[in-house]
Structure formats: structure tokens, C-alpha cells
Chain A
Amino acid sequence: MNDIYKRNNAKNFIYISLFFFVIYLCFLYLGIDFQRFFSALGRFGNLIATRYYPVDIPYALEPGYLASILDSVQMGYLGLIIGVIIASILAYFAASNITPSKRVGYVIGKFFIIFSRSIHETIWTILFVTIVGFGMLAGTMALTMYCIGFFGKLFSEELENVDMKLVETIRSNGANEMQVFAYGVWPQVKTAFTGILIYTWDVCFRASTIIGFFGAGGMGWYLKRNVLQLEYARTSAIIVSIIVLVIFSEALSAYMRDKIYKETQ
């Protein structure tokens, strides 16, 4: 701990100046105007104050927009359910300690989880929109892929942390793979499964508010329309409504997770 503040001023000076020089080079490479960079916060504040500020709240309360919120919620929910079903199977294969086949199943499960995780949800949306056309189906599929990545990673990590002694006991008594999972693994991860499920719902809803921007239905579509029409007051109303909904969903998911953990303890 103590050697963090070792007094070596000359060396520190060289390191710090090298650090700033590298950042300077990065800025030059990216073609960023320094004046623009330092005035960015002011411009941002100015933009918020002059364009976005009088928030057009009544717009966010129109029935058409409220229906689109419902669309987003439905997309998130359905994407979550399908995604979690697929991700649970993949996570079972991708957990190194309980996977039925280490050579094939593990690699395939891990690959699919990493692959769907590494592509951002907006890119999934664009891809599915080109395949099945505009609309909520594409959004649901994109959210499914997103949930597979998100849920699969967290749940497979949870599966890797189970107590193997219990699992081995059941296996040594002659249980088959199905029984090992049902009596050895599942009781240990049940709580975590529900907790991760609720957390994934929260994150998935957050993603579902934006994917409409790229052609899947829901609130994002309204956002895109108003951004393109330069209707700043309406755009800010939509952003405010998204913030409110996200805060609400976050609070709800925190409350539910808390309740579940309390119930099991």
C-alpha cells in the first residue's frame, strides 16, 4: 500500500508528461479540435438550455406514445422469456464443471454466449430488421440475442460456482445427468436464477426503449422521428419519459430482488 506514494519526483514527472503526450497524440490522430473539446461542456449546457429545455410534457402523455411504451414493455418481456430459455440451456453447456461434454458442448455454448454478448443490441436490431423487416418482431429477436448474451454469461458463472460436493454425491449414487441437475445443481442456483432473471428484465427493458431507433417498434421509433424532425422539445420529453421509466424499472427490480433474497434466507 505504502509504495503508491513513493517519492520519486523525476520519474513520476516523466511518466505523467508521457501520459499527457500520448493523450495529445490520440487527440491529434482522432482529429479533435482542442478548442472544441474544452468548449464541449459549455456547448452541451447551452444546447440543453436553449433547445431541449422547455420539455413538451403533454407530448409524452399522448395515447399513441403511451401505446408505444406498452409495445416496448412487451418486446422486452417476450425477448426476455425466449432469451432466458435459450440462455439457460446454453449456460448449462457453457459451465465448465457440469457440462455434459467438455469438448463439444462447452465450446459451442461458450461461443454462442460470447458471440451474442459482443455484438451490441443496436447492431442486432439492424441485422434483424434487414431480415424480417421493420416492426416489433425484429426488436424481439434482437432483445432475445441480447438476453442470451447477458443472462447466459451471468448464469453460467453462477453455475460454475456451485458446490461440487453435493453434485458428486448425487452422481455417485447413480443419478443420470437430468437428475444431477434437478437435485444437485438447481436447488443451489434457484435464488440466483431468479435474481439474475429480474436483473436481466431491467436491463432488457432499458435496451428495448432504444432499439426502436433502428427500426424496431416502441418508443425508440418516436425518438427517431422527432430527432429527424428536429423537434427538440418533444425529443426531450421522450428522453425524460425514458429516464422516468428506467428509474421505475430499476427500483422495481431492486425491490423484487431484495424480497426474493430475504424470502430464501
Chain B
Amino acid sequence: MSGYQLSIEDYSKQNSSKIYKKIIFYTSLISIIFLSVYFIIILDTDWHRIGSGQAILEQLSYFIGLDVSIMPLLILPAFETFLMACLGTMLGLLLSLPVAWLGAKNVTPLGMFTFSIARFLMTISRSVHEIIWALIFVGAVGLGALPGILALAFRSVGFISKIIAESIEGADKKPIEAIKAAGGSGFDVMYYGIIPQILPTVIGTIIFEWDINIRRSAVMGLVGAGGLGLAFFRQMHMSNYPGVTTVILFIVGLIVIGEILSHYLRKRII
């Protein structure tokens, strides 16, 4: 009887400590909100300079309208952006194949050593933003579409190779064992045992990454790689606000086309 009583007390004590923990957690989250509001909106913002709501509306109204005259000049950069995304994804796939091979636990050649190197490369590639990659490559190979392609490729390596490595690890072992038992070499195992199993996943991933890369390639021009980003940059610096709206419209159009294409492709393949 007393044991039963005790357990209830224990339970309620545990529960109340849990509630206290919850209260502390949520109050700290909310107080961080107030703190950030204080720092950002009160301390850091110069409301005087922004002016009244009317001034903001006036500033916004500059963007209304389209600059029809630059539309023909945007078709080629849009195509360039599109090509940049395609080539960047392809190069990214090419670069991520060896990384995935090293980063899959069951096929990595030198055990923990190569595995951790590959994981490190994946993390680096994912955590550096595409703008920073583009900055580095503009410094390395000069202006133009090439640094954009390389930046997109390096940025995609992390994601693509992670998915490939995970699907290699999750591949069915039976065909692999069968090929090994029949005397197949490491290459045979890879080519006939693993690749047919992971191909659908890999293709789906590539299409997904390509879709994201279109979005990314549209901003590569901001730091010196060509495409629509460069057109945006120019219009912005000429303070041609209707032109800016036009470029944004082109970017959105390109991305919508890419999304429709990728949806259709994924449906067909998977």
C-alpha cells in the first residue's frame, strides 16, 4: 500500500520537475525573442532614416512596373543560368562519386581513415554557403560562368555524396555476396551489385539537387559569376527598379519551369 502511495508521490514529483523544466525552457525561448527584438528593432535600427510608413511605401512603389526594354537582354542570361545549374550539378555528381565511395562504411577501402576524410569533405561542402564558394572560385579562376559552375558543383557534393553513400550502405547484401562468391572483383561488385540497386535513388537526388541549383545559380552573378544574378546586380546598381522587378520575374519564371520539369522527370523515373 505504502509502496503504491510512494510511487504516486514519486510520479508527481517527477512530473512537477518536468513542468518546471518546461516552464524554464519556454520562458528562456520567449525572453530570447524579446532580447532580439530589443537589439534588432530598437538598438540597431535607425528609424529616423527609414522615415514614416509613407516613405517606405514610396520606396516600395519604385519597384512597381516592368521594364519591357530589358526583357530581350535577359533571355540569354536566363539560359546561361540554366546551363550553369545543369553543368554544376553534373560536375557535382562527378566529384561526389569518389567521395561517396570513400564515405560508405561497407565499401570504403581503408576503413576508418578514408571514411572520416570523406565525411569531413561532405560536411565542409555542405556548411560553406554557395556565395562563399563562388567568392573563392572567382578568386581562383576569374570572372565568368566557370566559377559559378565550380561553386555549384562543390556545394552539391555534400548532399549528393551523402545520399549516395547512405544508399550504398543500405544496399541489399545478397547480390553483392553472390558476385563475390562467383569471383567478381571489387569493380564487378560495384558495377553489377551496387549500382543497379542505388540508381533510382541517385537519379531522384540529382533531379532534386538540380532544382535547388537553379535557385542558387540565379545569385551566382552577385559575386562575379554570370547569369541572371549579374543582370540583377547591374539593374540594382543603376537604380532601375522596374528593371529589378523584371529580373526577379525572370528568376521566378526560370525556377517555376525547373520545378515543373523536375516534378515531371521524377514522376517518370521513380
Contacts and interface: CB of A to CB of B under 8 A. Distances in A.
A61 interface: no
Most buried by A among B36, B90, B232: B36
Contacts of B123: 243, 247
Contacts of B84: 30
A75 B40 contact: yes
B236 interface: yes
A77 B37 CA distance: 10
Interface string A210-250: 10011001000001000100000000000100110011001
Interface stretch (B97-105, B108-116, B250-258): B250-258
A210 B132 contact: yes
A187 to B, nearest CB: 18
Q: How large is the interface on B (under 10, 10 to 19, 20 to 34, 35 or more residues)?
A: 35 or more
Interface string B203-240: 00000000000011011001000100000100010000
B145 A32 contact: yes
A160 interface: no
A243 B128 contact: yes
B141 A40 contact: yes
Nearest to A37: B146
B124 interface: yes
A78 interface: yes
Most buried by B among A74, A75, A126: A74
Contact of B35 (A40, A74, A223): A74
B1 interface: no
Contact of A114 (B129, B218, B248, B256): B256
Q: How large is the interface on A (under 10, 10 to 19, 20 to 34, 35 or more residues)?
A: 35 or more
A26 B83 contact: yes
A118 B252 CA distance: 6
Contact of A77 (B32, B63, B142): B32
A136 B45 contact: yes
Given A131-B56, A135-B44, A44 B140 contact: yes
A4 B56 contact: no
B50 interface: yes
A10 interface: no
A227 B145 contact: no
Interface string B22-55: 0000000000110111011100111001100000
Most buried by B among A29, A40, A46, A209: A40
A257 interface: no
Contact of A137 (B40, B248, B255): B40
Contact of A120 (B39, B44, B219): B219
B251 A119 contact: yes
Nearest to B39: A74
A242 B128 contact: yes
Given A26-B83, A120-B218, A239 B132 contact: yes
A229 B244 CA distance: 28
Contacts of B145: 30-32
A21 interface: no
A40 B131 CA distance: 18
A227 B138 CA distance: 12
A29 B44 contact: no
Contacts of A127: 63, 244
Nearest to A220: B131
Contacts of A74: 32, 35-36, 39-40
B165 interface: no
Contacts of B142: 36
Contact of B135 (A78, A209, A227): A227
Contacts of B44: 71, 135-137, 217
B184 interface: no
B17 interface: no
A122 B217 CA distance: 12
Contacts of A27: 87
Interface of A: 1, 4-5, 23, 26-27, 29-33, 36-37, 40, 43-44, 46-48, 51-52, 71, 74-75, 77-78, 81, 114-115, 118-120, 122-123, 126-127, 130-133, 135-137, 140, 206-207, 209-210, 213-214, 217, 223, 227, 239, 242-243, 246-247, 250
Top 5 A-B pairs, shortest CB-CB distance: A246-B127, A74-B36, A30-B145, A118-B255, A78-B36
26 contacts: A27-B87, A30-B87, A30-B144, A31-B145, A32-B146, A40-B137, A40-B146, A77-B36, A114-B256, A118-B251, A118-B252, A122-B131, A123-B218, A123-B219, A123-B251, A126-B232, A127-B244, A130-B236, A131-B60, A132-B50, A132-B56, A136-B39, A137-B41, A137-B45, A217-B44, A246-B126
